[in-house]
């Protein structure tokens, strides 16, 4: 499903060169739930951004669903992300001026769909996270857990085969964190969605199929 | 997608009330100034009754006569060559302008030389803006009077509300007939109804009202009278000194060829004999210059006085363009600045949109669209302010005879300015932010 070969990421300034990722090789199978752990600054988020085509590696090859996406141009990358990838962020990143319904529809705006189709798909996504009674609410009217559920609905509304979650429970208390984790596990089990999750939480990580540890940009 | 953008734009504006307030003030104030300038230019310089043939008219308002004398200036120089003093001298002929007079034209001068212009289709000789005071029921009324000939109302197409214009017969018979504006009719008679044939006492003489016209709504000496009387009732030599007098002439060019009229006028004047100094207070004028200007040059000269009307118009145009440029540029720069900080605040949104499939063009279009909505609202407010100020100016006569108008062309131009303003002030910050890297954009919270 996802193959990373010899991925390196270097950040250069005039005087310093920092290695964020050092020769990462990774294979993620379809339907797998992988968690990535490691101390702060070890390159977890950088790796997730590279897998999610939000960032480019300094060198190496990325293949997703048989496509060598590391060669894609900006527009092709944007289209690929829209069709195949869903993102969940630690700080939710909901648009405060838009209602829950409009926030969830955001990925569908970049597809050729009618308003009716968008409404239907967003309703289904919100129902699957148990928020169909909050469609007209605004993010400021929701709790942290509810906001993250909206973010999950936004990530899955376009039916992507891969979800990338960057510390999805990091801003939540343990009860809400467990709720979110259960939704992700359910998505993985029922829809066979491939999920890659960055986390600091050992308990959450142990609920996934596989754990990958990073230290100073290297795989352990 | 655009309904989503519109929804978002309106909510963003609602949320950032301070920013929205400042932006709307800047946009509406700027557009109000611009629209007032456009309304002013359109109302003052545009072709409409009674000057619907603006491009075909040549005005001859002033005659310039000068006495020019040549002086010779000698200069001596000395130097030593081989120990012996040598002397040299040079001279230079210079024109010392001793005396210049500029005034209106005399009637006889115009009659003698300017009744047969080949390049002009029609002409009229006018004595503009004589002021008389009359008293009606012990209330003083100031009346601006123009003495005109039979061609005047052919060249200046005033809207006739009732009665008739001054005719050739009125001129020939030196009839005491008057054409008055409806405004004066209301002041003098209290009404415009049933006053044709009634008498008016002006300057100790009784005049019969022959016609009622709508007053000119622009500032221009040739058309700003309220009372129009036949010029033939004036004595032939009234106020005339030599070629000077108190007439002006307006010519309607054949086929719109105003350059031909100007050239013919200059040619005629070049052949006019110089007057004997006994007729000009002892001054031996040896240069005569007619000063023919187009309608627009004539107006421009009233604002920026220069010898050459074309030069006045040239400078006036540049000043107007520069003012318009400044009025667009300064607020646009401010708006760009405001927009940069506003869009920076929404970095995370840009990051999310890009993560979910938006490309840079999509982001660019979204933010320009939002800015166009903002400027559109500002434009509407600006239009409301403009309409209010135009009505205020017209009701209180703040610009004298000039009546500002609000028409379709004016609306279209204002909308165009609004949209350009929105696109320009939104494009630079939007294109800057659209290029921001997703990971960087997502770091903002």
Gap between the Cα atoms of B158 and B138, Å rounded: 31
- Comparing CB atoms, the residue among A54, A75, A98 nearest residue B438 is A54
DSSP B347: H
**Whole-number Cα distances in Å, A59 to A5, A8, A46, A100, B163:** 9, 5, 14, 39, 93
- Average pLDDT on B39-47 reads 82
B2, closest residue in chain A (CA to CA): A109
Does B153 or B38 have the greater pLDDT score?
B153
CA distance A183 to A106: 21
Please name the residues in contact with B317: beta carbons below 8 A apart, sequence gap of 6 or more. Answer: B300
- Do B356 and A82 lie within an 8 Å CB cutoff? yes
- For residue B354, give how far its alpha carbon lies from the nearest alpha carbon of chain A (Å): 7
Helix (H) or strand (E) holding B91: strand B84-105
User: What are the tokens at A131?
Assistant: 């928020």
The CA distance from B367 to the nearest CA of chain A, in Å, is 14
B419 by Cβ neighbours in 10 Å (0-12 / 13-18 / 19+) ranks as middle
Residue B286 pLDDT exceeds 80: yes
Contacts of A109 in chain B (CB under 8 A): 1, 4, 358
Average pLDDT over residues A99-128: 93
pLDDT tens-digit profile of B155-214? Answer: 999 999 999 999 999 999 999 999 999 999 999 999 999 999 999 999 899 999 999 999
Of A54, A79, A95, the CB nearest to B355: A54
Burial of A85: CB neighbours in 10 Å, binned 0-12, 13-18, 19+: buried
Question: Contact A153/A131 with Cβ under 8 angstroms?
Answer: yes
Determine contact: A93 vs chain B, CB below 8 A.
yes
Residue B434 has a pLDDT of 81
Inspect the interface and report whether the beta carbons of B442 and A78 lie closer than 8 Å. Answer: no
- pLDDT of B318 > 70? The answer is yes
State the pLDDT confidence band at B97, using cuts at 50, 70 and 90: low
Please name the member of B349, B359, B442 whose beta carbon is closest to the beta carbon of A89.
Answer: B442
Is residue B54 very low, low, confident or very high in pLDDT (cuts 50, 70, 90)? confident
Calculate ∠ Cα B196-B219-B225, nearest 5°.
30
Instruction: State the count of interchain CB pairs (< 8 A) between A and B.
Output: 68
Which one of B15, B357, B439 has the shortest CB-CB distance to A82? Answer: B357
pLDDT at B179: 97
State whether A97 and B359 contact (CB < 8 Å). no
| Interface with chain A: mutation pick from B16, B357, B365, highest number of A CBs within 10 Å | B357
In which residue are the tokens 């709790």 written? A143
Question: Is some CB atom of chain B closer than 8 A to the CB atom of A92?
Answer: no
Task: Determine the average pLDDT of the residues in B291-301.
Answer: 89
Residue B15 has pLDDT above 80, yes or no: no
Nearest to A181 by CA among A198, A169, A164: A169
Pairing state between β A17-28 and A2-12: antiparallel
Q: A113 versus B38: which is more confidently predicted?
A: A113
Q: What is the pLDDT of residue B407?
A: 67
**Cβ of residue A113 closer than 8 Å to a chain B Cβ:** no
pLDDT tens-place string over residues B364-415: 888 888 888 888 888 889 888 988 999 999 888 888 878 888 766 766 777 7
For B225-239, the pLDDT digits (tens) are 999 999 999 987 666
Do you find a cis peptide bond into B50, omega within 30 degrees of 0? Answer: yes
User: Is A44 touching B (CB cutoff 8 A)?
Assistant: no
Q: Ranked by mean pLDDT, which of B27-31, B171-175, B414-418 comes out on top?
A: B171-175
- The tokens for B290 are 């007619």
**Cβ–Cβ of B15/A97 closer than 8 Å?**
yes
**Whole-angstrom distance, CA of residue B439 vs CA of residue A54:** 6
The sign of the torsion formed by the CA atoms of B177, B145, B124, B105 equals positive
Contacts of B78 (CB under 8 A, 6+ apart): B85, B86, B87, B88
Q: Is the dihedral of CA B216, B218, B219, B222 positive or negative?
A: negative
Count of beta carbons in the 10 Å neighbourhood of residue B235: 8
What ipTM, to 2 d.p.? 0.94
């Amino acid at each position: 499903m996802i193959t990373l070969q010899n991925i390196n990421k270097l950040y250069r300034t005039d005087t310093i060169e920092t290695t964020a990722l050092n020769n990462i090789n990774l294979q993620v199978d379809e339907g797998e739930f992988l968690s990535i752990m490691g101390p702060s600054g070890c390159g977890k988020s950088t790796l997730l951004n590279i897998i999610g085509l939000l960032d480019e590696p300094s060198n190496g090859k990325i293949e997703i669903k048989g496509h060598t996406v590391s060669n894609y141009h900006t527009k092709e990358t944007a289209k690929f992300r829209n069709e195949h990838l869903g993102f969940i962020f630690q700080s939710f990143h909901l648009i405060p001026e838009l209602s829950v319904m409009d926030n969830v529809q955001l990925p569908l705006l970049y597809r050729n769909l009618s308003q009716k189709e968008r409404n239907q798909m967003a309703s289904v996504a919100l129902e699957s996270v148990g928020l169909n009674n909050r469609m007209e609410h605004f993010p400021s009217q929701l709790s942290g857990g509810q906001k993250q559920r909206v973010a999950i609905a936004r990530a899955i509304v376009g039916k992507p085969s891969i979800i990338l979650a960057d510390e999805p429970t990091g801003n939540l208390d343990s009860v809400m964190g467990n709720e979110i984790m259960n939704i992700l596990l359910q998505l993985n089990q029922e829809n066979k969605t491939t999920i890659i999750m960055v986390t600091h939480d050992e308990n959450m990580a142990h609920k996934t199929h596989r754990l990958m540890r990073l230290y100073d940009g290297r795989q352990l | 997608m655009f309904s989503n953008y519109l929804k978002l734009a309106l909510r963003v504006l609602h949320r950032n009330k301070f920013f929205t307030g400042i932006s709307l003030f800047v946009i509406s104030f700027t557009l109000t100034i611009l629209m007032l300038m456009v309304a002013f230019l359109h109302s003052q310089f545009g072709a409409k009754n009674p000057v619907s043939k603006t491009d075909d008219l040549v005005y001859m308002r002033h005659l310039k006569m000068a006495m020019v004398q040549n002086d010779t200036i000698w200069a001596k120089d000395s130097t030593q060559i081989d120990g012996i003093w040598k002397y040299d001298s040079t001279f230079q002929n210079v024109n010392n302008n001793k005396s210049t007079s500029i005034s209106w034209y005399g009637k006889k001068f115009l009659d003698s030389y300017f009744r047969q212009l080949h390049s002009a289709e029609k002409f009229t000789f006018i004595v503009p803006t004589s002021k008389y005071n009359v008293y009606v029921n012990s209330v003083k009324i100031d009346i601006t009077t123009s003495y005109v000939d039979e061609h005047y109302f052919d060249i200046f197409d005033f809207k006739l509300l009732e009665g008739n214009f001054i005719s050739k017969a009125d001129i020939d018979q030196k009839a005491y007939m008057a054409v008055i504006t409806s405004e004066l009719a209301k002041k003098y008679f209290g009404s415009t109804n049933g006053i044709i044939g009634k008498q008016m006492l002006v300057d100790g003489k009784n005049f019969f009202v022959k016609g009622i016209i709508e007053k000119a709504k622009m500032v221009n000496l040739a058309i700003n009278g309220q009372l129009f009387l036949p010029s033939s009732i004036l004595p032939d030599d009234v106020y005339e000194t030599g070629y000077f007098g108190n007439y002006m002439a307006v010519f309607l060019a054949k086929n719109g060829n105003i350059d031909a009229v100007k050239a013919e006028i200059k040619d005629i004047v070049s052949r006019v004999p110089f007057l004997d100094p006994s007729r000009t207070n002892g001054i031996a004028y040896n240069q005569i210059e007619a000063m023919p200007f187009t309608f627009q040059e004539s107006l421009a000269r009233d604002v920026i006085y220069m010898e050459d009307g074309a030069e006045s118009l040239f400078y006036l145009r540049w000043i107007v363009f520069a003012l318009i440029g400044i009025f667009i540029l300064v607020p646009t720069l401010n708006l760009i600045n405001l927009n940069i900080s506003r869009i920076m605040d929404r970095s995370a949104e840009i990051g999310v949109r890009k993560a979910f499939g938006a490309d840079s063009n999509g982001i660019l279009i979204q933010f320009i669209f939002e800015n166009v909505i903002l400027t559109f609202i500002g434009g509407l407010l600006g239009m409301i302010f403009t309409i209010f100020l135009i009505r205020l100016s017209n009701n209180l006569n703040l610009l004298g005879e000039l009546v500002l108008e609000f028409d379709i062309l004016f609306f279209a131009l204002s909308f165009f300015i609004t949209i350009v303003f929105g696109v320009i002030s939104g494009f630079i910050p939007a294109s800057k932010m659209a290029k921001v890297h997703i990971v960087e954009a997502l770091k903002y919270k």
